[in-house]
Chain A
Amino acid sequence: DADVTQTPRNRITKTGKRIMLECSQTKGHDRMYWYRQDPGLGLRLIYYSFDVKDINKGEISDGYSVSRQAQAKFSLSLESAIPNQTALYFCATSEERGYNEQFFGPGTRLTVL
């Protein structure tokens, strides 16, 4: 089984709808991240969390919110989706020590019509 899972893998929604992307991990890591990937822009950090009670904004947090329900779960919400939020979304985890290598989920492709 994958260590970092994301649901759904693909989603098409309409402008103005609320949508939640979910991430779960079995690696036992405290740190979790949400990134957005757009063509030609690489990956950009939306939010990150170092533990259940610690949530921080990344460089592009406007229009998004997150919830860390447990050590293993970190959800990303779009309260009112808009077309320029169409992108590939990645969840990642890392441990506290060493290289803090980030392990990525398989991504969620979101299309907002």
Chain B
Amino acid sequence: AQTVTQSQPEMSVQEAETVTLSCTYDTSESDYYLFWYKQPPSRQMILVIRQEAYKQQNATENRFSVNFQKAAKSFSLKISDSQLGDAAMYFCAYRRGNFGNEKLTFGTGTRLTIIP
């Protein structure tokens, strides 16, 4: 079974600085997708960024980027120029790539605090 591990229960960063959240996963599949979701205090789950395993180029969405290391099974999230609105729980998620296997497996989350 696939597992997703987020080893940092809590992180904090000074406003305008850069922070990296870690995620590792375990799978025997070669085709899969990885996601980072943000859950602010409103508790809504919001997709931040996604990565396809067969793409070597790291995904980027504005201030958010990932460092995808397939061999190491690592998928870290970098947030640049941190803003107060980035304060939230962040969840890493995995799903297999083949049709009919769209179920997400989530990590346990990292709570990010932004220090003004």
Q: Interface code B83-113, partner A: CB below 8 Å = 1, 0 otherwise?
A: 0000000010001000010111111110000
How far apart are the CA atoms of A40 and B45 in the complex, in Å?
Answer: 16
Contacting residue for A99 out of B50, B103, B105, CB 8 A: B50
Chain A residues with CB under 8 Å of B4's CB are: 42
Interface hit among A15-23, A67-75, A77-85, A101-109: A101-109
Q: Does B33 count as interface, using CB distance less than 8 angstroms?
A: yes
Is there a chain B Cβ closer than 8 Å to A41's Cβ? yes
Determine if B47 is an interface residue (Cβ-Cβ < 8 Å): yes
Is A42 within 8 A of B102, CB to CB? Answer: no
Those of A17-74 within 8 Å (CB) of chain B: 31, 33, 40-45, 48, 50, 58
Q: Within 8 Å CB of A100, what residues of B? A: 33, 95, 102
CA distance A58 to B102 in the complex (A): 12
Interface residues of B in 20-48 (CB under 8 A from A): 33, 35, 42-45, 47
**Neighbouring B residues of A101 by C-beta, 8 Å:** 35, 47, 50
How many Å lie between the Cα of A90 and that of B43 in the bound state? 10
A112 within 8 A of B: no
* Interface footprint category on B: 20 to 34
Whole-angstrom distance between the Cβ of A11 and the nearest chain B Cβ: 15
User: Which chain A positions have C-beta within 8 A of B47?
Assistant: 101-102
Smallest CB separation, B36 vs chain A (Å):
12
The 9 closest A-B pairs by CB, nearest first: A104-B45, A42-B106, A100-B102, A43-B106, A42-B108, A107-B43, A42-B109, A45-B103, A42-B107
25 contacts between A and B (CB under 8 A): A31-B102, A33-B104, A40-B109, A42-B4, A42-B91, A42-B108, A43-B45, A43-B91, A43-B104, A44-B106, A45-B103, A58-B103, A88-B43, A90-B45, A92-B45, A100-B33, A100-B102, A101-B47, A102-B104, A104-B44, A104-B45, A106-B42, A106-B43, A106-B44, A107-B44
